[in-house]
Structure 1
Amino acid sequence: MKKLSLILMSLMLIIITGCSLEPPGWAKPKATSNLNEMKIGLSISTLNNPFFVSLKDGVVAEAKKQGLKVIVVDAQNDSAKQSNDVDDLIQQGVNALLINPTDSSAISTVVQTANTLGIPVITLDRSADKGDIKALVASDNVKGGKMAADYIVEQLGKRAKVIELEGVPGASATRERGKGFHQVADSQLKVIEKQSADFDRTKGLNVMENLLQGNPDVQAVFAHNDEMALGAIEAIRSSGKNIPVVGFDGNEDALKSIKEGKLTATVAQQPDLIGQLAIRAAKDVLQGKTVEKTIPAPLKLVTKE
């Protein structure tokens, strides 16, 4: 019903404005320079992941500093729920949307609805496939994937046999991290298996257990995020093997695991900084300023040394 009501609203706007995509004044975000009157909607893919909790905390802290109110919703890694959540935020009259997509394709419809209503959209960590996005605030996931592959080659040499644990199918971060990894791996490593574990620790453990049974000669693992990497480590330790694992994100549990000599390395992002940069971009957009289409947050490879 929510989705239907927004579709009807969009059609009404087009009829009222003479078949133009320009919405009438009453449907546009409230033009004001008073930040205390502005509301930002934040849709997070999941809060069952320390990385996205840090991202959310960065948004909330910076919004408070800037005098902005934030309404946070958790999609729980469900793309249909996320679309409904964003529908709700639109109906609550938010001035701007910050979206961390669960699925870059599935989120496109509500992004386009927001575009029709004149609500600016900024994406965090992952992009949307369609619609007008004012800015994508993210690490360079392609570069990060390449960094992981380069490190494995450096440690184990060329043609090392590697398993790749992929993230949520359809997420831009999954595509981009895999792309960067394979820019190196396809010529310098031997990827013997790759399988999705949905950026989830428990799934990472279960998938890794199964892959170890069929690939006893694996020499290294690259996981598209730290949660899957930490799950993979548990599976490897239970098997009695000692296989280096490289993750991606740099979350607190991963950094602790590296210090303890369990996780080998992680391509560390700065999720709190991504959140801060997204709020600053939203503030600029709401005040009529131009922002860069891509706003990068630096990456670094973290190892025990």
Structure 2
Amino acid sequence: MKAKKIGAILLASVMAVSMVPAMSVSAADAKRVCFVARASSDTFAAWLTTEMKKQAEKYDDIELTCVSGEGDDNKENGLLEDCITKQYDLVIVQSNNNGAQAPYVQQLVDAGIPVITTNPTTHQNDLDGGDDTSVMAGTGTVDADPIEQAKVSATRAVDEVPENANVVVLKGPSGNYHADKRREAWDENFFSKRTDVNILYEDFANWNSDEALTLMESWVQAGTHIDAIISMNDNMAAGAIEAIRENKDYFNEDGTANFLAYGVDGTAQGCLLIKEGLLTSTALQSAADLAEKNLEYAEKVVNGEMEVTDVNDYVDAPEINADNVDDYIQIYIDNGELTEDDVKAAEE
């Protein structure tokens, strides 16, 4: 199973870097920053961790430590409490579940530790359950707009998805801002316009390719052909695609796919699937851009050049499809995340 092998190689290479205890070489008086990632098994979180470490190497006055909550709210919350105990100068938080982590983000704020929340933003209503969707008081954010990310594929799907299609929807973790907002964007920009489309199945796969594969296997066994996979990230789309890779009912006689698949993130794995003709489109959420902005602002905050509450920045969400995927694959080759052999494997 070619894609599974490619995906495993990519994830393994990212995790190998992300799991290493990370401290950049720095001066003795460097400011101590901790990045709390949601899960090392999540390809995007692992990519973001890797990029954070790369960016930290550019700053002699920053000592970066990276830890992971492994997709467990209790573990991530414990890590946030530990950041208070260890008295970090600044903490960058990638929440697994916004509502679950918000009280612990508040503890950091109360302890006088600056907090930047990223991918996703923690909002005020995550803390108090109210209607205020502004960035949580006392914190800053570097993020991407999940509505715009999902809109990229949802808009084109209006014209691409066949009439009376049967589709499946793979959702990220419940309570995660990006997961929830991407799903809302599909309602607004696709399902409201294509009322003929039937959602055959919909479930949480929690950003995880293995969970998506298991769901897709059970859905396919029910016997109704699935015309489109609508996934809130590339990783889940990859798992669902893997479940039907050897199923002749999902491929034409010439080997081309007779299904559509949409993701978000624009990961290296997602780009290879587009190159293979198995993923229709995705929107780039650049971990490199997020990391660059996070470390740039972190340095300014810890050195007193700006207040953390003034940190409010968002990266773009350009579409990646068959027409432009080679450009993005070349970027991944240039930064070492893909090799020419990876691309050849996807083309074979």
TM over 0.5: yes
1:289 is aligned to 306
| From 144, 154, 157, the counterpart of 2:159 | 154
Spell out the pairing of 1:83-162 with structure 2 (5 A cutoff): 83-128=77-122, 129-130=126-127, 131-132=136-137, 134-156=139-161, 160-162=165-167
Q: Does 1:51 align with 2:59?
A: no
Asked if the contact 2:161–2:260 (Cα under 8 Å) also holds between the matched residues in 1, the reply is no
Distance in 2, matches of 1:35 and 1:102, equals 33
Alignment deviations for residues 233-280 of structure 1 (CA, whole Å, 9 cap, x no partner): 012223331311111111111111211222222212101110111111
1:304 partner amino acid: A
The CA deviation at 1:217 is 3.9
Report the Cα offset of residue 292 of structure 1: 4.4
Higher mean displacement: 216-225 or 289-298 = 289-298
1:187 aligned to which of 182, 186, 192: 192
Does residue 196 (structure 1) correspond to residue 204 (structure 2)? The answer is yes
Q: Percent identity?
A: 23
Return the letter of the residue paired with 1:246.
Y
**Alignment-mate amino acid for residue 313 of structure 2:** I
Q: Does residue 1:219 correspond to 2:219, yes or no?
A: no
Structure-2-length-normalised TM-score = 0.73
Alpha carbons 1:51, 1:251 under 8 Å: kept: yes
Q: Distance in 2 between matches of 1:196 and 1:89?
A: 30
Q: 1:299 aligns with which of 314, 317, 320?
A: 317
Distance 1:214 1:35, change over 3 A: farther
Asked if 2 retains the 8 angstrom alpha-carbon contact of 1:185 and 1:191, the reply is: no
- The alignment's TM-score, normalised by the length of structure 1, stands at 0.83
Preserved contact between residue 152 and residue 282 of structure 2 (Cα < 8 Å): no
Structure 2: distance between partners of 1:266 and 1:279: 26
1:198 to partner: Cα distance: 0.8
**2:100 aligned counterpart, secondary structure:** coil
Q: CA deviation at 1:215?
A: 6.7
Identify unmatched segments of 5+ residues in structure 1.
Answer: 1-33
Please give the per-residue CA displacement for 1:70-128, whole angstroms capped at 9, x wherever unaligned.
11111110010001111112211100110000110110121111111111111111122
Unaligned 5+ runs, structure 2: 1-26, 128-135, 251-257, 324-348
Whole-angstrom distance in 1 between the partners of 2:164 and 2:287: 33
Instruction: Tell me the equivalent position of 1:70.
Output: 64
- Which amino acid is the alignment partner of residue 138 of structure 1? D
**Separation of aligned partners in 1, 2:147 and 2:45:** 19
Number of aligned pairs? 272
Distance 1:163 1:216 in 2: 11
